[in-house]
Chains A and B, each alone.
Chain A
Amino acid sequence: MNIKKIKTLLVLLFISIISNTHSAIDTDMQEVASLNVNAVVAPYTTVSVSTNELSFSVLGTPGAYISTDVVTLTVDSNQSTWSAFAQASSLVHNDFGVADLPAERLSFAINDSKQFLPLKNNVLFLQGVIDQEPEPVKLSFRLTTTWQDTPGIYKGKVTIAFLNNP
């Protein structure tokens, strides 16, 4: 190859580079590669209660006694809707053979409400939606005793259950 041809090739190469540079600057951005991103937002619900123990001290004559503890319940969820239910078990006496205190003797009120709902079955007491910031609720519990209740210590549990609706 002679020098003339080489010069010619170099010139063409230079022109080509200049031309491509202009082309890259002047034209719109073109997709040269793509990257797929999958973001997985897992469903979650967090539930917290201020205490997991309720106690009633029935010192006087039978009647309605409010628990010494007020339970603060906080629910945080990314579900579109969710529901909270409350249920209680019967309170069982420490001594075998003594009649239980039926679950419906326990009732509860939300925040400062004076209306107590008996904990007979699953009681729907709270519903949330995703676009609403959940606020803590205060639950007060009440136990109603009668003269027929044998003195002593009774134990049971209250279950707060949550149903998510994604």
Chain B
Amino acid sequence: MPINFKIFVWLLCVLPALTNASGTKSVDMQVQADIHASMQMQWHRIEVDDLHYQQMKNKIKLKPGWVLLPYGLYVELQTNDVSRIVSLRVNNLISTNKIDTIATDSIYISHNGNALVTAKKDLAILDPEDRGLLKKHVLLFVIKTNPTQKPGQYLANFKFVSNTLP
């Protein structure tokens, strides 16, 4: 028997085993993940002795007649939703006797120590480009006083407004 033929026969016997040895079987499982829009937000009032308050207070330049309120807000928020917008809405300050008001025309907001912005408009604290980021905000409030405002105690009303872009 020629030697080549022997090798051929040997290979014929061995190859199936080798193929089987290296062969694999597999099972596929389909995976589906449904991720829903989510937002996490926490806030608390900060007082004058709060470190955040002190840090941001030092950045604010007050003009004569402007009064910085002795409290503010510390807000942390985060979302995975690209269409989510969160804003701060400030209402008129109302005196405790519910007669007098200080309109939002006279209220300004310091956002993380940046230049004061009017409270007449909602202040965006979470934009679509902030998606996925943990946003931290220190919000302080300034009253531009004028002679028409009556002295006394006033109540502030702040709202966080969440909108979803279409």
Question: Using a CB–CB distance below 8 Å, which chain A residues touch chain B?
Answer: 43, 45, 47, 49, 51-62, 71, 88, 91, 101, 106, 141, 143, 145-166
Instruction: Give the number of A-B contacts (CB < 8 Å).
Output: 124
Would A160 and B29 count as touching, CB distance under 8 A? yes
* B24, B35, B36, B133: the one within 8 Å of A162 (CB): B24
Query: Which residue on chain A has the smallest CB distance to residue B22?
Result: A163
- Contact between A164 and B20 (Cβ–Cβ < 8 Å)? yes
Q: B134: which A residues are within 8 A, CB to CB?
A: 147
Kindly state whether residue B78 has any CB partner on chain A within 8 Å. yes
Q: What residues on B are CB-neighbors of A54 within 8 Å?
A: 29-32
B21 at the A/B interface (Cβ < 8 Å)?
A: yes
Given A147-B133, A150-B80, do A159 and B27 touch, yes or no (CB 8 Å)?
A: yes
Q: Using a CB-CB cutoff of 8 Å, which residues 1-36 of chain B contact chain A?
A: 17, 20-36
CA distance A100 to B77 in the complex (A): 24
B35 touches A58 (CB 8 A): yes
In the bound complex, CA of A145 to CA of B25 (Å): 31
Q: B20, B23, B33, B82: which contacts A154 (Cβ < 8 A)?
A: B33
Q: Which residues of B contact A (CB under 8 A)?
A: 17, 20-38, 40, 78-82, 131-134
Whether A151 lies near B27 (C-beta < 8 A) is no
A53 & B133 in contact (Cβ 8 Å cutoff): no
Chain B residues positioned under 8 Å from A56 (CB to CB): 31-34
Task: Indicate which residue in A60, A106, A148, A158 contacts B28 across the interface (CB closer than 8 Å).
Answer: A158
Is the beta-carbon distance between A147 and B34 smaller than 8 angstroms?
Answer: no
The one of A45, A151, A160, A161 that contacts B35, using a Cβ cutoff of 8 Å? A151
Q: What residue of chain B has the Cβ atom nearest to residue A54's Cβ?
A: B31
The residue of chain A having its C-beta at the shortest distance from the C-beta of B17 within the complex is A166
Beyond the given pairs A59-B38, A147-B80, A149-B80, 12 more chain A to chain B contacts, judged by CB atoms under 8 angstroms and listed by A's residue number, are A43-B20, A51-B29, A53-B29, A53-B31, A58-B33, A60-B38, A148-B80, A148-B131, A148-B132, A150-B35, A153-B33, A165-B21
